[in-house]
Chain A
């Protein structure tokens, strides 16, 4: 036991200093009020602050219609992003894992990861150049004699940016689980009378469920807190939770409210992760492929 502690102590130290301590700090700040000139106002009478329920003011405020709407929109965007990522990634991962020529596999997998070599911010800026009115996309469209489309600063542009950014996080776990899938099981299904569709839905999908679940978690959670994409590609009307939190710290200078919002987001994510862990455990499988 002493040995286990010794081996785990660096991890505990990192988690404690960089995760747990900030979380506690954030929770405490979320109970405070904004100072007259921004920042955190010092609490003069702790007993009264807690007794009057004033410490929950930020959480109460977060339930106002406008914030609920932003929260709902963020949730919806995250769901759609995850669904689109899954729809795009599954065929790609399937092809990579099962059909691609063996000697190309390493290279192709490398290409999935290549975008990480460039900063996400720069890649998102690149999308601005592609999507804006005189951007590459519209040049191509008008070159083909088609009507140009107004994409930049719309919800669609945010969605494109989100899906683009999260795609590798869906492809990789799907690839891992599809790679492990025993091809004789697919042959067995076909031998027993299942066509392509039957084999896919009754064998391939259930057996790659751990990969699907892992990809969904890896994509859904970051999409829920995203603010760079919506900031650069979205208009004023596509503000997401991430932007709202960032605004409270950087623009409104209201860390207590920002902390409350961030804490709610963190709690929501933890609930989702817990649900995922329960799901993974019930299947008797590993938590990540």
Chain B
């Protein structure tokens, strides 16, 4: 099998700090893969290493089976959508999109057609003559996408593509990106610090922390079966329990808050009614706090408890995630 991207024990040091500390990943052709992690975890550096904008201190990078470790950025079959788009301010939309075509050996006479196709793909037809400063944030991002996609890269790299957009637009663009990827079948490699975004968009994702990959898997695997405490906490709210010296997590939506029955005795502390769900904050006998998401399936569930009420916390065995 030919992988779209392979990194083999890639390390990148900046002075005494290893921003990327021995990462080995394989990304399949045509999949949407995300690098998820907090700022400073090395995800952007890894993306830049794959783009060729940084070179690794050690390790190897292969793209579509070919060793690219020492190949400069301008000769790699990958293109990057920069976080702040990096459109050329002195060029029109059309000229921006056409920028790389000549280097790909596309004859000048075909530029117009290719640019037209790419702009149609991102629904910007008619904007050819505008300059970047005459576009909205969302339009700029689509120009950046068109500029990369027109070159038909083996992998499209996207550095926090949604971070600079306003929240209302973000969901919309997520849907568009996913549709675009399905239509083109190009491998997408995302970098994001937003777990909801990574879970929603990815076929598979890698959670990173301190330059290392903590876990790789499908969104459901990573979310339901986090391998480490870091992954459990970073991919969503998590409740830590300790029973007979064994530590485990249970996600807030898997917990049930009951008036009586089997389970952990707690005291209700706070109620946050959010419409679709109610978020309960409860406290155990020794002071430890837990969060419970309760689906608002019937009516009036939010009024079940008042702050200060005693309650019982219960969960299914199979929802326990045991951490080593």
Contact = CB atoms under 8 A, between A and B. Distances in A.
Interface string B263-305: 0000000000000000000000000000000000000000000
Interface centre among B53, B78, B86, B147 (most CB of A within 10 A): B86
A4 B102 CA distance: 53
Given A184-B82, A185-B88, A188-B88, A193 B53 contact: no
Interface centre among A190, A195, A202 (most CB of B within 10 A): A190
A193 B82 contact: no
Contacts of A182: 86
Contact of B99 (A187, A189, A195, A207): A189
B103 A194 contact: yes
Nearest to A185: B86
B324 interface: no
State which size class the interface on A falls in: 10 to 19
A164 B31 CA distance: 60
Contact of A193 (B51, B84, B100): B100
A193 B86 contact: no
A203 interface: yes
A198 interface: yes
B53 A198 contact: no
B80 interface: yes
Interface in B52-91: 52-53, 72-75, 78-80, 82, 84, 86-90
A191 B80 CA distance: 7
Interface string B86-119: 1111100000000110111000000000000000
Nearest to A206: B90
State which size class the interface on B falls in: 20 to 34
B97 to A, nearest CB: 10
B103 A188 contact: no
A191 B79 CA distance: 6
Contact of A192 (B72, B90, B99): B99
B72 A193 contact: no
A235 to B, nearest CB: 45
B146 to A, nearest CB: 12
A267 to B, nearest CB: 33
Interface in A58-82: none
Contacts of B78: 191
Contact of B100 (A194, A203, A207): A194
A119 to B, nearest CB: 41
Contacts of A191: 51-53, 73-74, 78-80
Contacts of B75: 193
B104 A193 contact: yes
Nearest to B84: A184
Contacts of B147: 192
Nearest to B159: A184
Contacts of A185: 86, 88-89
Contacts of A207: 88-90
B35 interface: no
Contacts of A202: 99
A198 B100 CA distance: 10
Given A184-B84, A187-B73, A192 B89 contact: no
B89 A188 contact: no
B86 A190 contact: no
A73 to B, nearest CB: 36
A209 B53 CA distance: 26
B151 interface: yes
B79 to A, nearest CB: 6
Interface string A223-241: 0000000000000000000
B53 A187 contact: yes
A182 B88 CA distance: 10
B73 A190 contact: yes
A182 B99 CA distance: 17
B170 to A, nearest CB: 22
A288 to B, nearest CB: 18
A182 B132 CA distance: 15
A188 B96 CA distance: 11
Contacts of A192: 74, 79, 99-100, 103, 147-148, 151
Contacts of A198: 74, 103
Nearest to B76: A191
B47 to A, nearest CB: 11
Contacts of B80: 187-188, 191
A193 B103 contact: yes
B90 A193 contact: no
Nearest to A186: B86
Given A187-B53, A190-B53, A195 B86 contact: no
9 contacts: A190-B72, A191-B74, A192-B79, A194-B100, A194-B103, A203-B88, A206-B90, A207-B88, A207-B89
Interface of B: 51-53, 72-75, 78-80, 82, 84, 86-90, 99-100, 102-104, 147-148, 151
Q: Top 4 A-B pairs ranked by shortest CB distance?
A: A193-B103, A192-B100, A188-B86, A184-B86
Given A185-B88, A187-B86, A190-B73, 4 more contacts: A185-B86, A187-B80, A188-B82, A193-B104
